[in-house]
Structure 1
Amino acid sequence: MQLIKSYFIITFFTLFSITFFGQVKSIGLPDVRNYKRNEYKGGTQNWNIGQDKNGNLYFANNNGLFQFDGSSWRKYPLPNHTSVRCLKIDDSGKIFVGGYNEFGYFKTNNKGKLEYTSLAQKVDKNKIKIIDFIWKIHTLNNETIFQSFARAYILKNGKLSILKAPKRFQFSFVVNDKLYFQDVEKGILEYRNDKLYPLPNTTVLNNTEIWGMYSLSKEKILIITLEKGLFMYENNTVKPWETEANNFVRKNNSLGGAIINKKFIVLNSVLDGIIICDFNGKIIQHVNRKKGLQNNTVLTSFIDNKNNLWLGLDNGIAFLNESSPFTYFGFSYDISTVYASVIHQGNLYVATNQGVFYHAWNNSFKEDVFKLVEGTTAQSWNVQVIDNELICSNNRGALAIQGGRVTHIIDTKGYFGFKSMPNHPGYFIGSNYDGFAIFQKTGNGLVFKNQIAGFDKSSNSFELDDSYLWLKKDESIYKMQLSSDLTRFITIKKISQLSPKYKNIGSLQKIDGKIYFQTNNHFFKFSKEQDLFYEDKNLSALFKNIPIINALSEDSQSNLWYAFDESLGVLMKQNNHYKNVVAPFSNLTGNLVSSYLSVNTIDSKNIFIGLTDGLAHYDSELLNNFVTKPKAFIRSFSFPGDTIVLGNNQNKIENIRIPYSSNHVRFTFSSPIYENLETVEFSYQLEPFDDKWSNWSTISIKEYTNLREGEYTMKVKVRNSYGIQSEPSTLSFMVSPPWYRHFLAFMIYFILIIVGIYLISARVKMKIRKNKYYETIEQRRLYLEKESKIRQEQFDLEKEIEKLKSDKLQIKILAKDKELVNNSLQVVKKNKILNGIIHKLKEIDVEALDDSTKFQVSKLNKSIVKEVNTDKSWKDLEKHIKNVHFEFLKRLKEKYPTISPRELDLSTYLLMNMSTKEIAEIMNISTGGVELARYRLRKKLGLNKKENLIGFLMSI
């Protein structure tokens, strides 16, 4: 398919370099497309039509102004919601409109949307209370004229002036750059320099409404009236235009018309659609409801920029593809599926699924229907002229036709077709439902001779050469040799492939008198001498860049017609080479009759192609701008909160920026292509979001959601039904980042990062300094702790030493105390002994002694008493004990304030681990007294029986 497009582009530019001339065909009907009111969502009547520079169409409708861009319809009502009766588009793109009590213009704003500006507001309401309907709008010599029945409102340089009707205006028209008004009393008036000048001898039309005035030449003006017909104004004289067209207008009334390329006249009618006539008044086409229009009352007609015809109907809109080289004979001509066609004795015959129909070839095809050939009502596979005799291959048999009826049945078997037999003049072979039969041409016409025995298969695809009959059946071919008496097949061979490379056989055809066998676009011929198939490289090369074909037929002009994928193409023979033409036939895709390629070339201007719903007529010489390169438009660009309409705008809108919150965008596409809208396809690419172009699709809407911020370019291109692609149309826009990803935000982030880095750096430095300080402090602390520990250890050591010394001293003291106690006890014993001696001495009777002895005894007693009285050892011992155990006695006294000195002494003795006997001796009490004193001490110290008194005292 891509190769076809490339080939066609070459054809396109060849055509485009030629000046195109519009042409209206007199054979068949143009393709008609009706738009019902439920499609455009408007009112019934459409009064006027216009087209802007971008190709968009505008319709003055009962419900307002309607715009059509080829993809969608848009409605623009007037402020007072009245009917729009007329419109006019000037060179600046303003769309002037007029309705009831309202007129003004629509103009695109900076977002491409149509905005209405009322000019009726400039009218002085005190002087003119009712403006009435504005019926016509004209732009001429920097003036815009809005015409109602009572007056004309003239806009010039922004100022509005009023031109009153002499009596009452009817309608107005611009002819040869001159503006004419019809006044019901003054006739036709020419407007010049703010004044009206009557045209001579035009008051004869005062009793009728003029709906159209057109220039046929510098001297001739065609005047179209509602009821009186057509008139010609020439040499200041009005006279009826007595033509075929005038008869139609008088019968059906006319509501104006249009001129097609200064060659043809479109005449609207009230009762019977439209006619198109030439400048001589000869009717070329007649299109009415029966022939495809949805309504017979045509209010307005308009020729678009491709010379196609638009009709504003009393109910709906119609499009007639007049620029196409194709016209059609369809249901309105009472024919259905066409399998073959031929011209014979001044009639065009077509073989259909309902029988054979015919129509006079030399007469105008305005006649409504083809006529059925009597006796052929059945499936008709073919209709051929065999030796000047018309033969129909019909389900009922082989039928001879003459004068619009079947004259006789040649054979009753069903037949597919007939071919002449080489080397057997006057003999023909026919393919029937049971195989093949032999026929002979006689003075009485074609005569059945015999059925060929030995083979009962058949089809419509067969050929004969000097030696064999070749039949294509399914995907194989049969090579069959006839006996010399033509009664049987003596050899039959089935062939499934022509070459080891290619399986299956695509088609069988005869080109330039030679039989070719085609498989995968490779063409082979058969060599009888070598009994093999060999490829024709030259013919294969012709089809190298063409899709695989399934049928091929050579016409009377040596053109090669081929079918592929339900489509049609042709290699047009030009001198000694062929030119591939595909694009014009794309409209026929899907409408060709499967397995029955029917192309009847009468001449280059008259080519008939059989279709499933009728017959197509093709004029290959009709070079027209139907193949012009299409244009693609991004019709609108929408996002939440706003819509930008681009289809109307003459200039591209730049610097489109949308907020991030509106990053859900929607595009609509359009192309001012109005032929075969169903096959118009779009492809798009949003850069840089899409990596490649989208697949071709008839959908003209595309949405994107959650676009990231950035710059985007939307590109769209269109492909029309002929396979021509447009140049891409582009729209650039920017999605602003969210505030947290905005440039300023990033600047703030950058500054914050710098500040953060600085603060972090300063903090790190400060931390480093602080850490160094703390490290120094810590080192100092550790040093001091270590030093303190050393000192403490030294102190502890010294303390330990002191303790050891103290313990040693204590031990010494205890030893000394023990020694002292022992000494004290010895003293106590000594004194006791001495006291005992003193008592003993007292017992001695000194009187009985001599003086010397008495003196000696007295002296001894005194000495002992003196020794006892002067002995301070106990007091020193007691003082020493108190000094040694001062701290203990202090703590004991602080803890137990009620303890007595005697009990303190007892505690000290107990602490010294003295025995009860020793304590008794020291305290000069009995051992029982010591135990009693111990009991009292325990009680005062609050000790129970189980607690050790000495251990408790040692813990204090």
Structure 2
Amino acid sequence: MHFTNRFGMLFLIISFTTLLHCQVKSIGLPEIRNYKRTDYKGGTQNWNIDQDKNGNLYFANNHGLFQFDGSSWHKYTLPNNSVIRCVKIEDTGKIFVGGYNEFGYFKSNPKGILVYYSLSKFLNKQKAAFDIVWKIHINNDEVIFQSFQSIFVFKNNTLQILKPFSRFQFSFQVGNRFYFQDISIGLMEYRKGKLISLSGTTILNNTEVWGMFALTEKKILVATLDKGLFIYENNKITSWNTEANNFIKKNSCLGGISIMNNYIVLNSVLNGIIICDKTGRIIQHINQKKGLQNNTVLTSFVDNKKNLWLGLDNGISFININSPFSYFGYSYDLSTVYATVIHKGNLYVATNQGVFYHSWDKPFKEGAFTLVEGTTGQAWNIQVIDDQLLCAHNRGALLITGGKSIKTLDNVMGYWSFKKVPNHPNYMIGSNYNGFSLFEKKPEGWRFSNQIKGFSKSVGDYEIDNENIWVKKDDVIYKIILNDDFKTFKSVETYENISASDKGIESIQRIRNNIYFQTNNHFYKYSQEKNVFYKDNIISNLFKNIPKISSIYEDSYGNIWYVIKESLCVLMKNNTGDYTNIEAPFLNLTQNLVYNKLSINTIDPENIFIGLTDGLVHYDSKSSNSFVTKPKAFIRSFSFLGDTILFGNGKTKLEKFKIPYKSNYVTFTFSSPTYENIENIKFSYQLEGFEDKWSKWTPASIKEYTNLREGNYKMKVRVENSYGIQSDETIVLFTILPPWYRHFLAYILYIICIAIIIFYIRKRIKIKIMKNKYYETVEQRRLYLEKESKIRQEQFDLEKEIEKLKNDKLQIKILAKDKELVNNSLQVAKKNKILNGIIHKLKDIDIKSFDESAKFQFTKLNKSIIKEVNSDQSWKDLEKHIKNVHFDFLKRLKEKCPTISPRELDLSTYLLMNMSTKEIAEIMNISIGGVELARYRLRKKLELNKKENLIGFLMNI
């Protein structure tokens, strides 16, 4: 066995962008998305819709023309700000519009911005008032604008005007033919610039025709506002007596559109839309109750993905009819769905609110599901066993028939599910909140027998083989062996791992009528004889290249459904027995699956029901898969300071842009004209030259870059749609020019300037060197002279120092001599004092008794002593010497104290010479007390306080 890879099947279909065959589903509702006026910020009414080749949609709105690219809305207005009633897009990209007294076209300029060009301005002013242009048609090289008063044909840049017989109503294109209604003569066909009346259509004069559709080559369906539907064939108008006509007569018609040449959408005033086939059988009815935001539908349009857009009286709606999925949600009174089953012509659905049913044989277009009486509450499962409908309910095991819960088999506890005992057709085991119960089949049906003892855990996932009941609970597998009496369990064994290499146990399931144990995408069987789990490579290889799975279920057709991170996938079994892995279509159901309660009911390949948290989804696996197409990524706009380039308005040639450096703040917006499941559209981008890798996928459709350096850049964008399909890259090349100071010419200028500077510097250096040599010579000469002068100065200072030393030495000698002189003078003073004493004593001697000789000698001695005393000049010499030696001191002292007396100068000198008081008294020939008194007077004259030392003061002078 083998299967294709994840997108193997899709690679064959994404190359087709148009639908080859599709069928509108009559079961459930397609996805409906509503856009309110607050979303597009415009008027309430939307009158017409069209789409350009890039996939952008355009809406003719009361407030102007609105463009939608899947990511953002853009508004464009007419010069007179009037309403826009119609829009038609030409293959060249021109967007023709019509409004009140105005018509023309929008066309993108070289920057991709839509610019309006008026055509009505060329009309004669007397004919300019034509009211509202309601319809626009393109007929080869002609563009036809239709108002109630005139038809304007624009061809070869000229306007031709056609007038009605009475008054035009509306106009229609059916195939390659164009029809107009005149309220007085009926329908007319436009041929070669002329209007030709169609016979047999005057019956329509008393009503308004809002739509015309081709049923066959010669049969046209005519839809009127208030008279119903008619067939125009063989020049006759006949009523179309069908189910669709009955609906239109009740609700009035506002036109419609054909879908895939097989179906017709009819808009109504009162009750939404219907989709009918060409026999008039209503296939689908969608109104406000079923999801539309408004029941009055003004226009309908089929886009390039064959999906339906509705312009409403208040808002816009998107209907994803080209999808194999349809939904039963709140409008069908369904909530969380746990299981579905078809039994005796009814579809039964087990939900969190009870069991509901709907006739399987009747169309689902009208009517909700009906609650089965007595099942209100949590219904976990609904099963058909031996043609009896059993419900595993929170209140017990219930037996249902005829839309009623007629019997409660066991109401002691809640039940999860039921399984028959192999090889015992009359016994059935039910898993409940407290283990297992046994049910026995009696002639009147299933009956509760007993609770099986020996295992009391609440059981969810379990399987039964010939001998064992296998239960997965809390990451453990239980192998439970049932006794022969079915009343107790013989043994209970637990397994935390199923092999040494694969730890843990993810799930148990029955595939190909065998029980498999799965972990890490490896599947194991159990050998009863060897009591061991062994790997099954055949099933394991099916999931070899698939990410880690959780829940697995094989349906009645052999398709294997599995869940990856809340995303549903399926290995669809082919006629050859191989499998095709399909993931993309189910990605839209991600996160809506019921956790750990996978509900898949494959009635047949065209009718597969999947339970969701918010209802039930119907899947047609035979439906065309062209809805899964490869998306296109657009760089919607490229903005920088002072300018914006739009690429989504028909601008396909992407040139390389050059941006000044001051505009290096750039912004890109992205879009992808994909409108299904638009919230799951994701973008990834990379700015080459700035980023090394692609960004993560993000729903954000805008990206800004700031402060980009100069250089070449390549902006790449890709998109991933809701089906996981990625687009090709879209690229925009641009260059950010360097600032003027980093421009190429600036660098040349820099080189020239540098060369000039170098030349100038070299020249200056040479001059500097020459000057330096001169200054060096001068400096050397100066240094030589300074050195020579310094030597001379040093020599002079040395000589002066020597002289000073000599003077100091001499001074020392003088001081020594002064001391010696003072000492000698003191000795002389002492000697004179002694001599004077002797003289005084000699006077006391009576010489009368001396003889003459003695008297003579005595007198001679006395005279000799007196002469010695009188002739001694030591005092005068001492005084003179002291004044000479201390001349500077005496001078400074005199300057400091001008009032000082000579006697006080002598005293100051004696004190400076550190003479004692006694010595001073002897020298000055005064008493010691006189010296102290003289000292006191000297201190007072010198203004010394008591704390100042007199000798110290004198020494500091």
* Bucket of the pairwise TM-score, normalised by the shorter protein: 0.7 to 0.9
Deviations 1:365-390, CA, capped at 9 Å, x for gaps: 11220111111111111111110111
SS of match in other structure, 1:375? coil
CA distance in structure 1 between the partners assigned to 2:43 and 2:583 by the alignment: 40
How do 1:34-183 and structure 2 match up within 5 A? 34-125=34-125, 127-183=126-182
SS of match in other structure, 1:382? strand
Amino acid at match of 1:284: I
SS of match in other structure, 1:249? helix
Deviation, structure 1 residue 780: 9.9
Amino acid at match of 2:518: Q
Contact 1:374 1:406 in 2 (8 A): yes
Deviations 1:358-415, CA, capped at 9 Å, x for gaps: 1111111112201111111111111111101111111222111111111211111321
Q: Does 1:732 align with 2:730?
A: no
Q: Does 1:720 align with 2:734?
A: no
CA distance in structure 2 between the partners assigned to 1:446 and 1:106 by the alignment: 74
Amino acid at match of 1:118: S
Q: Does 1:209 align with 2:200?
A: no
How do 1:773-922 and structure 2 match up within 5 A? 775=773
Contact 1:21 1:624 in 2 (8 A): no
Amino acid at match of 1:7: N
- Quote the residue 1:803 is aligned against: none
Q: Does 1:687 align with 2:688?
A: yes
Deviation, structure 1 residue 751: 2.0
Deviations 1:250-289, CA, capped at 9 Å, x for gaps: 1111101111111111111000000111111111110000
Q: Does 1:8 align with 2:6?
A: yes
Q: Does 1:230 align with 2:229?
A: yes
Deviations 1:37-85, CA, capped at 9 Å, x for gaps: 1011010000000100000000001110000000001111111111110
CA distance in structure 2 between the partners assigned to 1:518 and 1:184 by the alignment: 74
SS of match in other structure, 1:678? helix
- Quote the residue 2:427 is aligned against: 427
Deviation, structure 1 residue 757: 2.8
Moved more, 390-399 or 321-330: 390-399
Moved more, 690-699 or 390-399: 390-399
Structure 1 pair 6/47, CA: closer, same or farther in 2 (3 Å)? farther
- Quote the residue 1:563 is aligned against: 563
SS of match in other structure, 1:27? coil
Deviation, structure 1 residue 655: 3.2
Deviation, structure 1 residue 781: 9.9
CA distance in structure 1 between the partners assigned to 2:75 and 2:244 by the alignment: 36
- Quote the residue 1:612 is aligned against: 613
CA distance in structure 2 between the partners assigned to 1:71 and 1:584 by the alignment: 22
Structure 1 pair 476/128, CA: closer, same or farther in 2 (3 Å)? same
- Quote the residue 1:443 is aligned against: 443
Structure 1 pair 146/776, CA: closer, same or farther in 2 (3 Å)? same
Structure 1 pair 17/710, CA: closer, same or farther in 2 (3 Å)? closer
Structure 1 pair 784/566, CA: closer, same or farther in 2 (3 Å)? closer
Deviation, structure 1 residue 17: 5.9
How do 1:618-633 and structure 2 match up within 5 A? 618-633=619-634
Q: Does 1:251 align with 2:246?
A: no
- Quote the residue 2:481 is aligned against: 481
- Quote the residue 2:267 is aligned against: 268
Deviation, structure 1 residue 106: 0.7
- Quote the residue 1:218 is aligned against: 217
Structure 1 pair 208/784, CA: closer, same or farther in 2 (3 Å)? closer
Of all paired residues, the percent bearing the same amino acid is 60
CA distance in structure 2 between the partners assigned to 1:385 and 1:787 by the alignment: 129
Contact 1:440 1:447 in 2 (8 A): yes
Deviation, structure 1 residue 6: 9.9
- Quote the residue 1:754 is aligned against: 755
Amino acid at match of 1:340: A
Contact 1:35 1:316 in 2 (8 A): yes
Deviation, structure 1 residue 355: 0.9
Amino acid at match of 1:502: D
Contact 2:460 2:473 in 1 (8 A): no
SS of match in other structure, 1:760? helix
How do 1:349-428 and structure 2 match up within 5 A? 349-413=348-412, 414-428=414-428
How many aligned residue pairs are there? 787
SS of match in other structure, 1:16? coil
CA distance in structure 2 between the partners assigned to 1:99 and 1:537 by the alignment: 69
CA distance in structure 2 between the partners assigned to 1:780 and 1:183 by the alignment: 118
Contact 2:326 2:617 in 1 (8 A): yes
SS of match in other structure, 2:124? coil
Deviation, structure 1 residue 784: 13
**TM-score, normalised to structure 1's length?**
0.80
Contact 2:4 2:581 in 1 (8 A): no
Deviations 1:648-683, CA, capped at 9 Å, x for gaps: 133234132222112111111100010111111001
- Quote the residue 1:674 is aligned against: 675
Structure 1 pair 129/572, CA: closer, same or farther in 2 (3 Å)? closer
Structure 1 pair 6/715, CA: closer, same or farther in 2 (3 Å)? farther
Deviations 1:207-261, CA, capped at 9 Å, x for gaps: 1111111212211111111111111111222111111111111111110111111
SS of match in other structure, 1:516? strand
Structure 1 pair 484/777, CA: closer, same or farther in 2 (3 Å)? closer
- Quote the residue 2:600 is aligned against: 599
Contact 1:15 1:623 in 2 (8 A): no
Amino acid at match of 2:302: I
Amino acid at match of 1:750: I
Deviation, structure 1 residue 354: 0.9
- Quote the residue 1:898 is aligned against: none
Contact 2:713 2:733 in 1 (8 A): yes
Deviation, structure 1 residue 193: 2.1
- Quote the residue 2:331 is aligned against: 332
CA distance in structure 1 between the partners assigned to 2:110 and 2:40 by the alignment: 26
Deviations 1:4-41, CA, capped at 9 Å, x for gaps: x9933322112336763232111111000000110110
Contact 2:397 2:410 in 1 (8 A): yes
- Quote the residue 1:870 is aligned against: none
CA distance in structure 2 between the partners assigned to 1:174 and 1:611 by the alignment: 43
Structure 1 runs not aligned, ≥5 long: 794-956
Contact 2:7 2:582 in 1 (8 A): no
- Quote the residue 1:526 is aligned against: 526
CA distance in structure 2 between the partners assigned to 1:6 and 1:115 by the alignment: 49
Deviation, structure 1 residue 640: 1.9
Structure 1 pair 788/154, CA: closer, same or farther in 2 (3 Å)? closer
Contact 2:434 2:459 in 1 (8 A): no
CA distance in structure 2 between the partners assigned to 1:95 and 1:783 by the alignment: 96
Contact 2:4 2:580 in 1 (8 A): no
Amino acid at match of 2:295: N
Contact 2:345 2:361 in 1 (8 A): yes
Structure 1 pair 533/782, CA: closer, same or farther in 2 (3 Å)? closer
SS of match in other structure, 2:13? helix
- Quote the residue 2:860 is aligned against: none
CA distance in structure 2 between the partners assigned to 1:676 and 1:129 by the alignment: 45
CA distance in structure 1 between the partners assigned to 2:25 and 2:780 by the alignment: 115
CA distance in structure 2 between the partners assigned to 1:304 and 1:108 by the alignment: 22
- Quote the residue 1:641 is aligned against: 642
CA distance in structure 1 between the partners assigned to 2:692 and 2:779 by the alignment: 69
- Quote the residue 2:298 is aligned against: 299
SS of match in other structure, 1:42? coil
Deviations 1:667-705, CA, capped at 9 Å, x for gaps: 111000101111110011111101110011111111111
Amino acid at match of 2:63: N
Contact 1:110 1:653 in 2 (8 A): no
